[in-house]
């Protein structure tokens, strides 16, 4: 029983050259074949179809999954242009894939259920440990997708994943990588099980400021009123701005630096919700659902809080492995963290590698949203969409 892993990365300007170079670098670290499973992250500089075809030609058509991202993480490398690849050959780890294309808002829950069923097809008697999911950036009601998945696996089954993105400078089409096909407006997932251990953890490092408020009227991801006043008053009051001022500043740093925090029972951290837009009537359009009646705070952070939160997530992973080393690490970090920390973002990565082991292969991406389970007693294990987090999946 054994597992071999290889990590590859390339920034060659040609898609075919970059994909092949990264694939062959990863392949060179294995002593036996065939390769069973590949995780791919690529920036928008590369053609997605050619990326996948070149990788699979070089590696012998293994099971392949991943997505586009604006920032690729491989080991200590943090790149806004490049292709990163992790290859796995294992007799211990079993992986089954599934995808659903042409996902629309009309059937998000059924798409989630379909995805879950597809990933289970190859799992008969094999133990199921966790589900890794990649979603499209333009699907905002992820709560319904997760509800469909949890309808099949149960609310406590470990689910993690990320929302794909494309570019730091513009909104281009985002892609989920599935076998030899790039998919848009789609879901893809890998069910991971067999003779392996999974560790999941996530933290964000934001702290509440001001007194608690309550979301008194909500429609999905849109907060209509807080404390029976127009929702924007929370920002108007704290920053001493008018609604017109705020409406003009919808894309200003204010909304990024001061997201909303939702108190989740006795969870160790607030659930973050980034405010994407402020509507003319003062409604706040969030990235992710907000439960009506929930306690809400403005939140803030700094570089030290962010770094410590990543370290706390790594320490939780280390404790869960009880002295054993993971075989590989997958990181899904909020794009906000990269934009806020700048060059210091690499310190988060180095810090968790120091904790978990610098020789353990690590691949990751910066995401537009992170899927991770809650830890409160009442909702323990239930996966939700998070904003602003540093999420780790370790497989051992």
pLDDT category, 171, cuts 50, 70, 90?
low
Residues 6+ positions from 244 with CB-CB distance below 8 Å: none
pLDDT category, 124, cuts 50, 70, 90?
confident
Where helices occur in the chain by DSSP H, the ranges are: 15-27, 48-59, 108-119, 142-153, 233-239, 243-248, 253-257, 303-321, 335-341, 345-356
Phi and psi at 209, nearest 5°, equal: -130, 150
Mean pLDDT, the chain, as a whole number? 92
| CA-atom Rg of the chain in angstroms | 20
Structure tokens at 155: 């609310």
**Bond into 34 cis (ω within 30):** yes
First to last CA, the chain: 13
- pLDDT at residue 92, rounded to an integer: 94
The DSSP element (H or E) to which 208 belongs, if any, is strand 207-219
CA dist., res. 46 & res. 43, Å (int): 6
- pLDDT at residue 16, rounded to an integer: 98
pLDDT category, 225, cuts 50, 70, 90?
very high
- pLDDT at residue 266, rounded to an integer: 60
Percent helix, strand, coil in the chain (nearest 5)? 30, 35, 35
Residues 137 and 67 sit within 8 Å (Cβ to Cβ): no
| 66 has pLDDT over 70 | yes
Angstrom distances, CA of residue 70 to CA of 67, 144, 264, 305:
10, 26, 30, 23
Residue 150: Cβ within 10 Å count? 21
CB-neighbour burial class of residue 268 (10 A; exposed 0-12, middle 13-18, buried 19+): exposed
Percentage of the chain lying above the pLDDT 70 cut: 94
């Amino acid at each position: 029983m054994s597992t071999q892993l290889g990590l590859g990365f390339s920034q060659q300007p040609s898609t075919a050259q970059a994909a092949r170079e990264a694939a062959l670098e990863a392949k060179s670290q294995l002593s036996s074949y065939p390769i069973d499973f590949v995780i791919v992250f690529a920036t928008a500089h590369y053609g997605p179809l050619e990326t996948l075809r070149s990788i699979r030609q070089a590696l012998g058509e293994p099971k392949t999954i991943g997505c586009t991202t604006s920032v690729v993480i491989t080991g200590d490398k943090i790149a806004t242009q490049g292709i990163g690849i992790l290859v796995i050959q294992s007799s211990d780890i079993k992986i089954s894939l599934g995808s659903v294309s042409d996902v629309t808002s009309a059937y998000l829950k059924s798409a989630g259920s379909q995805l879950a069923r597809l990933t289970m097809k190859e799992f008969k008697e094999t133990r199921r440990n966790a589900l890794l999911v990649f979603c499209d950036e333009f699907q905002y009601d992820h709560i319904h997708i997760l509800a469909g998945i949890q309808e099949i696996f149960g609310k406590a089954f470990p689910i993690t994943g990320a929302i794909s993105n494309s570019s730091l400078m513009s909104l281009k089409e985002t892609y989920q990588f599935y076998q030899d096909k790039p998919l848009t407006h789609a879901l893809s997932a890998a069910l991971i099980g067999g003779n392996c251990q999974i560790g999941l953890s996530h933290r964000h490092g934001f702290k509440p400021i001001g007194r608690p408020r309550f979301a008194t009227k909500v429609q999905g991801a849109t907060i209509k009123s807080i404390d029976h006043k127009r929702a924007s008053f929370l920002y108007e009051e704290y920053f001493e701005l008018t609604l017109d001022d705020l409406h003009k500043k919808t894309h200003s740093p204010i909304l990024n630096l001061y997201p909303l925090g939702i108190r989740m029972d006795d969870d160790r951290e607030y659930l973050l919700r980034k405010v994407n837009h402020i509507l003319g009537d003062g409604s706040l359009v969030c990235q992710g659902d907000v439960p009506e009646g929930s306690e809400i705070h403005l939140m803030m952070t700094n570089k030290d809080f962010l770094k410590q939160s990543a370290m706390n997530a790594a320490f939780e992973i280390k404790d869960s492995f009880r002295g054993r080393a993971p075989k590989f690490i997958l990181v899904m970090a909020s794009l906000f963290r990269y934009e806020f920390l700048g060059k210091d973002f690499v310190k988060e990565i180095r810090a968790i590698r120091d904790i978990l082991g610098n020789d353990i292969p690590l691949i990751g991406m910066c995401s537009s949203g992170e899927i991770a389970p809650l830890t409160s007693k009442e909702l323990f294990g239930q996966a939700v969409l998070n904003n602003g987090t540093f999420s780790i999946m370790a497989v051992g």
